[in-house]
Structure 1
Amino acid sequence: MVALNRKRRSSNEPLVRPEGAVRISKKARHSSTLASIRASRLPTINSVPEAKTEKLDVFVWGTGSMCELGLGPAASTKEVKRPRLNPLLKKEDVGIVDFAAGGMHTLALDHNNQVWSWGTNDSGVLGRDTSNATSEKLKDMDAADSDDEDGDLNELESTPGLVQGLPSDLKIVQLAATDNLSAVLLENGEVYAWGTFRCNEGLLGFQDGILIQRTPKKIEGFENVSQLASGKDHVLGLDTKGIVYAWGNGQQFQLGRKIVERTRMTSLEPRSFGLKNVKFIGSGEFHSFAITTDGKVLAWGLNQYGQCGVAAEIEDEAVLQKPTEIEALTGKDIVYITGGEHHSIALSSSGEVYTFGRYDMKEVGIPKDKLPEYTFKDQHGNPRSIPVPTKLDSLPPVKTVAAGSHHSLAVTTDGIVFAWGFGDTYAVGLGNLDEDVEKPTRINNTATRDHNIVSVGAGGQFSISAGVKLDEDASEDRTEKIEEFEEELESKTANGH
């Protein structure tokens, strides 16, 4: 098994336009304006969400060698094997109401409409200046022996701090985070973003003429947005008319349109690509999703492990070049869908969970002896992927899910978190593990045992959750209920069901 720890990249790239970049033409801008006029005539089918207000306790776990956990600079915070309450984000002091996990950083919104950030800031994703840290002892990824196990972390990156330069007169209703970019959606449907996008060749840029944007900047001309969805280095936007936009890196067709070298800088502005009548968008790292108003689930982008859930050739670098219906999810009333690097998770309105994609790090949560007949196997007969969405029967009803690069999380309607997938980075929150977690397993530890978890997030090698504490009677009733479910499930498994 290869190590998945992500290492710090150098932040010394010059802030200049990449060689060969072109400015967006007047013709392209004119076409965008005409598209906006046509869209204005469509009926409104989506609304901008309301700002969240419930103050939450925040828990973090996993590998924090890149400051991902936000627990401060002490070297002891580099590995947290089970959920730990973040003492720097106390509910009574800060009052976090929402968060978003990127690949190596996190954004969190407090009840005063302020955004906090922590994690690696090489690409400007924290939206604040961290250059004056005094305890920076991490080595550059290009240096020999770049893993520094004993040194403290960068104090400004590892400690939650306030993002600078966001409008104060408009409420923030959603946060979004990729590997290298951060964004917020405001109550008036406007979007602010900062950071950059990367591609196979290195830095792609933030916008034409801006390589790295280190403070929040309004995305001009992008209005009436109702939802954002973030991949590894691309972002989707859904507007109130049901039109989907995409921008960022499109080398795996995750933008829903072909990107050619001579015009690739145009991919750095949100553009529609013909997808309409959509009520929800989701994203994996290199693939994208949409749910239409008539309940169809569409996917496009990288599909070499069947992570798009579409019957197509499963091979290295296989892609779906345009939105294609996931027929196996038709009629399932899917309300939420997301993905990791090579796997995906879909959630129905009744709380059923469907997974598909890569198998070898147990991302799909299906034990080897329960693999379906349509499992794709390599030339040696080893299971490689599950290319068709498959229901997980080992979970009680679920209210939300999250996908990290190679691990998965699900929260039951009672607020209990189950985890499965790659175990080496502790991102599953189940303590020391000898192997990956092949099926959904309840996280049962002192810190979160009495909490109703309301939201979860998953990054490259870490996880985050937030919730409210239950009273003693409610906690005991919930524990009894989930233990009964697990006992019944174990009995069924023992009897071959």
Structure 2
Amino acid sequence: MKSLIAAVAALHFMPAQRWHASQIINPDGHPRSANSTAKAIEISNSIRKAIGLQLVEMVPGTKAGVGIVTVTSGGLNTYLLDKAGLVTRDQRRSETKKDPSDNEPDLRANYYAVIKGLIDDEFRAARLAAGDNFGAALGEKGELKVWGTFRDDEGKASFSSDVKTQLLHTFVSVLGRTTARPQYDPISSITGGENHLVALTMRSEVYSWGIGGSGQLGLRVLVRHKQDALVPQRVHEAGEVWAWGMNSVGQLGIGERDDGVSQPTRLPVLSPANMGGDRVVQLGIPEEHEGFAGKGTRGAECVAEPVLVPLPAAVEGDPVVRISCGPQYNMAVTKEGVLLSWGVGLQGELGLAGNAESAVTPQVVVRKEGSWAVEQVSYGWQHVIGLFRKREDDES
């Protein structure tokens, strides 16, 4: 029987010592029965290591068969978007009801629940982005809702000049003000860093806001004007590939290393003129990368310019269509649904056999001969979430 349900696969670190079956909460507030088609299981072990690949088959929407179309992770949270435009978030005991006798916060996700603040007849989510302490949803009409907060290096929380933490899911315009209803230059794409957001408008302009202490906003933000950075500001008109921010280990790929680049800098090596007419169609935003070879000294063996990544023979003729960059590791998804990983993942984020903690070249995590095809991956804090699809030729 062919599966009509999308599956979420998680590779993550869970600091617990027992098997834990998570509840799925229906929109009416009641837990689904154990034999429901929607199941979520989180597995952990006593050695504080990742459990490898696990599947969470679930339908977060209000109707059976309304499958997941997008998964997004940020910090400790995971957000799911289904075909009905509903956004579902993992809920944690520390955020709901905590046992008074328990002095340790429980970071395990107990269940997934639809975010009611995003259920609006005039707003339908089409894309998601997340950071360490915030979430964002882009509507079908180009409007943007954001919630949470940005935290600087000292732990100070700021959402805007007068709001520390935005608890409600509020409209934010790229014109520089938060409004009750959207007044905006329509946005076509969003992406989130740890504590900042970047938006591309339909006019091909890039806007950024949040915390920019390392130049990640692409703006020169002086200390006395830090609050101004919390308002969306234009970075540069879109064109070729540009990069900015911290560059201590050459992660920007501009051909040199320095502490940081505060203004957008073009990457000539990724210009269509230098790529035989090909154009870059997707970029990943890592927290920070470092060399994996040699002594492993921070930045000692860094690559200062973009280079082609050698792919394994198993994906020859199967092009990469999606990428995701974690703090020290990368994930790639091919057209045929193969998942590759490489880099350093000390908590099992790579998802490799034997809990391998590093790989200097891409390794196959999910094979094209398997029962599942990978469509998308997203990294969080010490975990990776993937959207898997049952292969049509698999009848099991």
Query: Which residue of structure 2 lines up, in the alignment, with residue 115 of structure 1?
Result: 87
Query: Which residue of structure 2 lines up, in the alignment, with residue 161 of structure 1?
Result: 113
Structure 1 residue 65 displacement after superposition:
3.9
Within 5 Å, which residues of 2 pair with 1:291-440? 292=239, 296-314=240-258, 318-331=259-272, 332=275, 333-343=279-289, 358-360=290-292, 368=293, 383-395=300-312, 396=315, 397-433=319-355, 435-440=357-362
Coordinate RMSD, CA, aligned: 3.2
Distance in 1, Cα, partners of 2:366 & 2:139: 36
Gaps of 5+ in 2: 24-40, 173-177
- Residues 206, 452 of structure 1: alpha-carbon distance in 2 compared, 3 angstrom cutoff: same
Q: Secondary structure at the match of 1:214?
A: strand
Gaps of 5+ in 1: 1-53, 123-129, 141-152, 279-291, 344-357, 361-367, 370-375, 476-497
Does 2:45 match 1:104? no
Contact 1:253 1:320 (C-alpha < 8 Å) held by counterparts: yes
Within 5 Å, which residues of 2 pair with 1:224-303? 224-273=186-235, 275-276=236-237, 278=238, 292=239, 296-303=240-247
Distance in 2, Cα, partners of 1:178 & 1:121: 20
Give CA deviations for 1:182-237 in whole Å, capped at 9, x if unaligned. 00001121111111001111123111211111221111344311110111111001
Letter matched to residue 359 of structure 1: G
Distance in 1, Cα, partners of 2:361 & 2:395: 27
Distance in 1, Cα, partners of 2:164 & 2:361: 42
Does 2:133 match 1:192? no
Letter matched to residue 116 of structure 2: Q
Q: Secondary structure at the match of 1:335?
A: coil
Letter matched to residue 138 of structure 2: L
Distance in 1, Cα, partners of 2:66 & 2:101: 26
Structure 1 residue 60 displacement after superposition:
1.0
Distance in 2, Cα, partners of 1:184 & 1:62: 24
Query: Which residue of structure 2 lines up, in the alignment, with residue 460 of structure 1?
Result: 381
Q: Which structure shows the bigger proportion of residues in helix conformation?
A: 1
- Residues 121, 176 of structure 1: alpha-carbon distance in 2 compared, 3 angstrom cutoff: farther
Q: Secondary structure at the match of 1:227?
A: strand
Q: Secondary structure at the match of 1:72?
A: strand
Give CA deviations for 1:454-494 in whole Å, capped at 9, x if unaligned. 1111122111111321134799xxxxxxxxxxxxxxxxxxx
Give CA deviations for 1:363-413 in whole Å, capped at 9, x if unaligned. xxxxx49xxxxxx9969xx94311111101224310101111122111111
TM-score, normalised to structure 2, is: 0.79
Identical aligned residues as a percent: 24
Distance in 1, Cα, partners of 2:73 & 2:101: 23
- Residues 215, 71 of structure 1: alpha-carbon distance in 2 compared, 3 angstrom cutoff: farther
Contact 2:373 2:389 (C-alpha < 8 Å) held by counterparts: yes
Query: Which residue of structure 2 lines up, in the alignment, with residue 372 of structure 1?
Result: none
Contact 1:238 1:244 (C-alpha < 8 Å) held by counterparts: yes
Query: Which residue of structure 2 lines up, in the alignment, with residue 179 of structure 1?
Result: 132
Contact 1:230 1:236 (C-alpha < 8 Å) held by counterparts: yes
Contact 2:339 2:367 (C-alpha < 8 Å) held by counterparts: no
Letter matched to residue 390 of structure 1: V
TM-score, normalised to structure 1, is: 0.63
Query: Which residue of structure 2 lines up, in the alignment, with residue 41 of structure 1?
Result: none
Contact 1:423 1:433 (C-alpha < 8 Å) held by counterparts: no
Distance in 1, Cα, partners of 2:195 & 2:185: 21
Contact 1:101 1:457 (C-alpha < 8 Å) held by counterparts: yes
Distance in 1, Cα, partners of 2:243 & 2:283: 10
Q: 1:86 aligns with which of 50, 53, 56?
A: 56
Distance in 2, Cα, partners of 1:227 & 1:71: 35
Contact 2:348 2:357 (C-alpha < 8 Å) held by counterparts: no
Contact 1:196 1:203 (C-alpha < 8 Å) held by counterparts: no
Distance in 1, Cα, partners of 2:101 & 2:118: 27
Structure 1 residue 435 displacement after superposition:
4.2
Letter matched to residue 464 of structure 1: I
Contact 2:124 2:139 (C-alpha < 8 Å) held by counterparts: yes
Query: Which residue of structure 2 lines up, in the alignment, with residue 145 of structure 1?
Result: none
Letter matched to residue 301 of structure 2: R
- Residues 405, 135 of structure 1: alpha-carbon distance in 2 compared, 3 angstrom cutoff: farther
Give the paired residue count. 348
Contact 1:414 1:452 (C-alpha < 8 Å) held by counterparts: yes
Structure 1 residue 327 displacement after superposition:
1.8
